[in-house]
Amino acid sequence: MGHMHTRVFSSSGVKATQVTDTIYVIQGNNRARSPFSNAVCVLDRSTLLMDSGCGLDIIRQVCSRCRIDAVVLSHSHPDHTSGTWLLQALCDPDISVPRQGSDSIALAEELALRFVEHDLAQLWKETYLPVTGFRDFTFTSQFDDGAEFSTGRNRFIAIHTPGHLADHYCLWEPDEKILVGFDIDLSPFGPWYGNPESDPGLFRKSLEKIRGLPAEVYVSSHARPVKQPHFMKRMRIYESAFRERDEALLSMVPRDAWIGIEEIVELSPIYKNDYRAHPDKIMRFGERQMICKHLAGLVNQELIAEDTGGRFRKIRS
């Protein structure tokens, strides 16, 4: 059964990694790097697709060979939702979205205002959305923490894991011990929390939550599946980025003078980008968001002080 399904993907030129007889990871375009992501396809009594940002060409190929009965979207970023409109046109599946993002997940205009500040919204729509192929879509249901999606042999339980976004979810298959972690992607870059609603504190709590699951296989949106013990090792490295970024920022804040947020952003401690040579307003906005969240944490720990002009100075080492 499994090999037959693998051939269904390979004969269409779609790269898929078999996890079990029924669960496959479809590699997104650009090796599943942003602005694309992996999709997870469950070929069971009913066919379920998790996320739709693998690329419109891949969606067309998959739908030409099997009918998608249901789609579950893990969170609101367009590199995870961009093909939903096409799936609706080709298969008309049930589409479930997280309740926390349901007022904006399907609407470009609302997403832009949610993810960047007002004066960057138009630029975000013009530069980011055309690359992903995103178009507005409609959904049939909303889900919340603890929701269960059954496909026949498999069942997946929704676990609310905010931090990356307020509406980010993981899906847990307790019988096969497979955890689909989506944008808890264990990438070498580390956790990303560059939107206004993103929250590194909640992100860390979400990592704690999934670390407690007896997962034997971990599937993410931007890398190949990993098994134990590699999953736990990758988790530790991934989580260490929070501390390393704190330390990097603390070393940039002087003790005897004040430094402004834009001066710190210009140094690009997280993205390591030269903004003078490569100006990118959307990237800079994301980095600024992440830096501000770390600085707020360092102020709370009374390691740095902030003046009324939004400048920072070290209190103690």
The whole-number average pLDDT for the span 105-116 is: 98
Of the residues 240, 266, 286, which one is the last residue of a structural domain?
240
- Are both 13 and 159 inside the same structural domain? yes
206 within 8 A of 254, measured Cβ to Cβ:
no
Residue 101 forms part of a structural domain? yes
Best CA proximity match to 88, nearest among 144, 127, 126, 49: 49
Q: Shortest CA distance to 40 belongs to which of 139, 156, 125, 129? A: 156
Residues 99 and 10 in one domain: yes
Q: Give pLDDT tens digits for 212-263.
A: 999 999 999 999 999 999 999 999 999 999 999 999 999 999 999 999 999 9
CATH number of the domain within which 186 lies: 3.60.15.10
Please check whether residues 149 and 271 belong to one and the same domain. no
CB 73 within 8 A of CB 96: yes
**Domain check: are 83 and 232 in the same one?**
yes
- Over residues 106-120, the mean pLDDT reads 97
pLDDT digits (tens, 9 = 90+) for 117-167: 999 999 999 999 999 999 999 999 999 999 999 999 999 999 999 999 999
What is residue 249's predicted lDDT score, i.e. its pLDDT?
97
If asked whether residues 155 and 187 sit together in one domain, one would say yes
* C-alpha separations of 255 from 151, 251, 259, 262, 273 in Å: 58, 10, 10, 18, 25
Number of domains in the chain: 2
Helical segments of 91-152, H only: 108-115, 121-132
Which pLDDT score is estimated for 316?
62
CA 25 to chain centre: 16
Please indicate, yes or no, if residue 77 is contained in any of the structural domains: yes
Same domain, 100 and 233: yes
Q: Are residues 55 and 189 in the same domain?
A: yes
The pLDDT score that the predictor gives to residue 13 is: 82
| Mean pLDDT (whole number) for 173-184 | 98
In a domain, 246, yes or no: no
Q: Is the residue at 247 inside a domain?
A: no
**pLDDT-derived band at 2, boundaries 50, 70, 90:** very low
Shortest CA distance to 121 belongs to which of 196, 34, 203, 200? Answer: 196
Query: Do residues 259 and 233 both lie within one domain?
Result: no
Residue 9: which pLDDT band, with cuts at 50, 70 and 90?
confident
Residue 304 inside a domain? The answer is: yes
Residues 236, 258: one domain?
A: no
Domain final position from 192, 208, 240: 240
The reply to whether 248 falls in a domain is no
Domain membership of residue 268 as a residue range: 253-314
- pLDDT tens sequence across 91-103: 999 999 999 999 9
- Based on the fold, state whether residues 9 and 147 are members of the same structural domain: yes
Asked whether residue 47 is assigned to any structural domain, the reply reads yes
Region 280-287 average pLDDT: 97
pLDDT surpassing 60 at residue 192: yes
Average pLDDT value for residue range 34-55: 97
Residues 69 and 126 in one domain: yes
Looking at the chain, the whole-number percentage of residues with pLDDT higher than 90 is 95
For residue 5, the model assigns a pLDDT of 62
Same structural domain, 224 and 163: yes
Instruction: Say yes or no to pLDDT of 8 above 80.
Output: no
Q: Which of 188, 217, 240 is the last residue of a domain?
A: 240
Closest CA to 269 of 295, 253, 249: 249
Within-domain flag for 102: yes
- DSSP-based three-state secondary structure for 97: strand
